[in-house]
């Protein structure tokens, strides 16, 4: 009896929507939790004058832990977890559904269809994640002792519902190319390194790290703009307090820091995304592997 070949680059046809959501949620929480302290440093470096005291990743870790305690590096983690699980469940489920709809023969790799599937996934996921990410960014700055729920309430009362979505267009503008690059580089590299589509955690991890590093580096300018929009309400610079669109934020960053302002936080962003994306893809592939079996 012939054994059907299992395609580890997609969930099997028999996999339920619940299985797809579970695999995506698991991957998302693992991705963001492990490197959260580095993400916190990146946020501070990008947030205008709030991060100007940090000259590097190690100096930032030392300064924050000695002056605020190690717990400061994990502020906002609860907001991230609450948002990342559902958002990544939607992310991967959307990706699988769109890719399945566009690519009928999974033996033939289609870059355009894969990029479109990744872009569609991030638009859907970011709509859900953006409010949680905005609250997380505010908490990471360490200038508020409020809980996630109290801070959210304060933001709503002081700035209105719009404050949770000022950065959404920028987030989409950043994450669409990030997702397209992430999925295309990952799928391309796994096809080259794992042509038989066998479950191989080392290959999945390596390819995930490569795709994450490349996508993170190329989209850092948009990430700087996104951060400024999300922390506008607590910025100490009046020019940053008034920004509410992508163009205004970009102009303010250039006025304050010049072109270098668009690369602030590049190193911690890449450092965080290499293991984070590697963990996300490895976790996702592992979840698919156990779901198949």
Mean pLDDT of the chain: 82
In angstroms, the CA 125 to CA 104 distance is: 24
- Label residue 265 left, alpha or beta by phi (over 0 means left) and psi (-120 to 50 means alpha): left
In angstroms, the CA 30 to CA 163 distance is: 27
pLDDT of residue 216: 93
Among residues 140, 218, 132, 209, the alpha carbon closest in space to that of 175 is found at 218
Domain ranges of the chain: 17-292
Question: 18 pLDDT exceeds 70?
Answer: no
pLDDT of residue 99: 82
Give the range among 71-80, 91-100, 212-221 with minimum mean pLDDT: 91-100
In angstroms, the CA 268 to CA 45 distance is: 9
pLDDT of residue 29: 74
pLDDT of residue 83: 86
User: For 17-292, CATH number?
Assistant: 1.50.40.10
Q: The tokens 């949620």 sit on which residue?
A: 25
pLDDT in tens, 120-148: 888 999 999 999 999 999 998 876 788 99
Question: 36 pLDDT exceeds 90?
Answer: no
- Return the percentage of the chain with pLDDT > 70, whole number: 84
Question: 187 pLDDT exceeds 90?
Answer: no
pLDDT in tens, 223-281: 999 999 998 878 878 888 889 899 999 999 999 999 999 999 999 999 988 988 888 78
pLDDT category, 7, cuts 50, 70, 90?
very low
pLDDT of residue 152: 93
Question: 215 pLDDT exceeds 70?
Answer: yes
State which of 14-23, 139-148, 160-169, 233-242 shows the largest mean pLDDT.
Answer: 160-169
């Amino acid at each position: 009896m012939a054994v059907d070949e299992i395609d580890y680059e997609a969930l099997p046809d028999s996999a339920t929507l619940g299985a797809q959501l579970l695999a995506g949620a698991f991957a998302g929480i693992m991705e963001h939790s492990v490197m959260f302290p580095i993400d916190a440093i990146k946020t501070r470096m990008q947030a205008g004058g709030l991060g100007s005291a940090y000259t590097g990743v190690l100096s930032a870790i030392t300064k924050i832990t000695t002056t605020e305690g190690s717990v400061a590096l994990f502020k906002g983690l609860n907001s991230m977890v609450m948002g990342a699980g559902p958002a990544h469940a939607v992310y991967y489920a959307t990706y699988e559904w769109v890719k399945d709809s566009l690519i009928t023969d999974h033996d033939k790799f289609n870059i355009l269809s894969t990029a479109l599937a990744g872009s569609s996934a991030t638009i859907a996921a970011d709509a859900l994640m953006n409010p949680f990410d905005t609250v997380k960014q505010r908490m990471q700055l360490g200038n508020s002792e409020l809980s996630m729920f109290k801070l959210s309430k304060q933001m709503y009362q002081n700035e209105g519902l719009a404050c949770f979505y000022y950065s959404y267009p920028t987030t989409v503008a950043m994450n669409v190319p990030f997702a397209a690059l992430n999925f295309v580089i990952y799928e391309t590299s796994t096809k080259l390194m794992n042509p038989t589509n066998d479950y191989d955690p080392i290959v999945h991890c390596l390819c995930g790290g490569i795709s994450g590093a490349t996508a993170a580096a190329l989209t850092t300018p948009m990430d700087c703009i996104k951060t400024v929009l999300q922390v506008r309400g607590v910025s100490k610079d009046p020019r940053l307090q008034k920004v509410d669109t992508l163009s205004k934020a970009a102009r303010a960053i250039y006025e304050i820091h010049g072109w270098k302002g668009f690369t602030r936080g590049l190193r911690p962003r890449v450092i965080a995304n290499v293991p984070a994306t590697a963990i996300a893809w490895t976790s996702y592939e592992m979840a698919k592997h156990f779901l198949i079996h």
